[in-house]
Structure 1
Amino acid sequence: MSLSRRDIIRAGVLVGAAFATALTGVLKDRFAFKSRKKSVREFNGKVDEPSLKINEDSDIILQMQSELKYSLQKPLEERKWGMLIDLRKCVGCYACTVGCISENKLPPGVVYRPVLSEETGKFPNTRLKFTPRPCMQCERPTCTSVCPVKATYKRADGVVVIDYNQCIGCRYCLTACPYGARTSDFGEFYTNNIADNNNLLKGNQKYESGPFFEYHKEQKRKGHSSPIGNARKCHFCIHRVERGLLPVCVTTCIGRATIFGDLNNPNSTINKIISKNDVITLLPHKNTHPKVFYIL
């Protein structure tokens, strides 16, 4: 016995609608660009010269992996994680988005790494531009100060996180974030309300209720317990990073458009690329000082 073609199409529509809901809330005119060349030393903080030898002829993923393991030897407060996205290399494949959904078992309507698209030019000479938009991990986050129970805060290494056990689901942080980088988990599942005349889909599927490991804790979406009802956001895959693994969005990028590393390491790949290019941040006039940079 198998699902009918109609059931499969309907399931696909539900998945597509989840992406559309997450993306349409962030309009392209909310983003202002300001180009500037940043100095490595401008990031401040305690800086150690790395003794690790990197083979610059190796794949950039392997270089970043080695740098990551080196930085993990330093105390938490001496690291400063950052991300650089080269929009010239982004082809809009959505591998980062899908990889993130798989890694964090994200439900419908919750997307940590949407890819915004914009059509430019005049027909027939048009093109699409793609802008991946993770959490900006701001140096001065507006989301943390509005939380009435201090459930969201910035760690010593600059990563903004959420304590699901403390979050009361008030959504103040969603409103405060100028980048639209936070969403709410409303307890939905991809297989909700799918017609199944053959009784093949009885309740939520195992892949939807299986464990995931955000913030180094085994999490499960069940009933009305956290993270259902909570605010949710990108966290640079900190559960992977602190075990020596790069964020999923970095390793799944087919064009090597996403660079990740320690901004407090002046010899890191991310700092070398930043120092040689004009980089921008989103909404610089908000003075949030994002730690996600872009090359146009």
Structure 2
Amino acid sequence: MSEEAFDASLDLLRRLDPKKIKKNLDNLCRLQPELAEDLLSSVDTPLRAEVCQSSGKSYLCCDYNRDGDSFRSPYSNEYYPAIEDEAEAPHPSSYLRQLEMQANDSFDIYRELYYEGGISSVYLWDAEDEVVDKSGRIGFDGVVLLKKSIDNDSGGAWDSIHVFEVQPKINGDASYKLTSTIILDLSTSNDIDMYLSGNLTRQTTREAKYTDAASHVANIGSLIEDTEGKLRNMLQEVYFGKTKDIVGDLRSIEKLNVKEDQKLKHQEMIKEFEKI
């Protein structure tokens, strides 16, 4: 019964207004509390930003840095709001914590280059199925979060959620599995109201050489860079290419006689090809 209820909940969320995904998800969790954990880990919602009390920097919140109602900051490695037993809360190992800080610095540069603003956060955790290479280095999992919002009449928001798995191999390569979700919200509040909202998810795998921890960050960054470029082009085609086709079908900008001439030329060309 719980599996049927879970599938029905996902099916319902796909049919409801994507702009209200967070509200709808919260309502479903209240109606079906036994499904709350599975739903929160399966459904991507727009990212929320909080401020790290130790560093004063903004960081992004998601299910991967959450413990109850608290979220871990990638800068201080502490949960906010503070929890009673901080030591028992999920934290990366010392090795992954150093790599996590390096990854946050690297993706902060990536964010500035491609987004010219916004917020980025990277979180790492130990893999459930440990894979150890010949040098004793282990595999790990993580997530890269990127968010940018425009707060004016031509508003909009872009949320990137990149969940990855890193598995080292004996031959010196590493396998990278990336699941990327882009949540795009385009809306205006001026004389002409416009509202477009939706998301796109794709999975990518790649194998690459690595020599140390910095190699992992570079390989993951390269994979995310390629994936985001492809997803952006796909979203552009869906949002604007399809809209342009619909508008063209509803109201042509060409005069009727021009379209008739083009139609006649097309028919004449077909007849000439048939003669060959």
TM-score normalised according to structure 2 size:
0.27
Higher relative contact order (CA 8 A, sep 6+): 1
Larger gyration radius, structure 1 or structure 2: 2
More strand by share: 2
